[in-house]
Amino acid sequence: MSDEHRIAPPAGSTPAGGVDGPARIAELRVAIDALDQQIVALLAERTRVVQELTAHKTDEATVRSPERARQVLGRVHDLASRQGMPPEVAVGTYRALIDELTRMQLEMLAARRAAASLAEK
């Protein structure tokens, strides 16, 4: 892990670059901001894929896909564990993501149905 992404120095050692206290907090916040930028870019990409996927779904059951959600959450749990991240943080984050993207998909499906209904009239 690079110094810019290090969360905390090993116990008993001096922080990266000998920086401590408020200066270290500022450094870590810069690192978090950079990570947030990457995370949001990846979430935007994931959202675009979900939007494309939604175009192929025809009903609420295929949008909700509870078995798929369970698979994703299980995989995320395992990935988080392997990365040394508390799995409950990753799973909670993904649960919120899945809930919001499901809501978005349901809205897209409803809009598509409404447009099709209008086209039939």
pLDDT, tens digit, 9 for 90 and up, residues 59-69 = 999 999 999 99
Give the position of tokens 């919120």.
96
Burial class (CB in 10 A: 0-12, 13-18, 19+), 47: middle
Lookup: tokens for 47: 């959202």
pLDDT, tens digit, 9 for 90 and up, residues 3-38 = 444 455 544 445 555 678 999 999 999 999 999 999
- As a whole number, mean pLDDT of residues 43-61 equals 97
Q: What does the pLDDT read at residue 121?
A: 78
CB 114 within 8 A of CB 103: no
Domain boundaries, the chain: 1-56, 60-121
Give which of 47, 23, 29, 19 is closest to 105, Cα–Cα. Answer: 47
pLDDT, tens digit, 9 for 90 and up, residues 74-105 = 999 999 999 999 999 999 999 999 999 999 99
CB 76 within 8 A of CB 90: yes
Q: What does the pLDDT read at residue 9?
A: 54
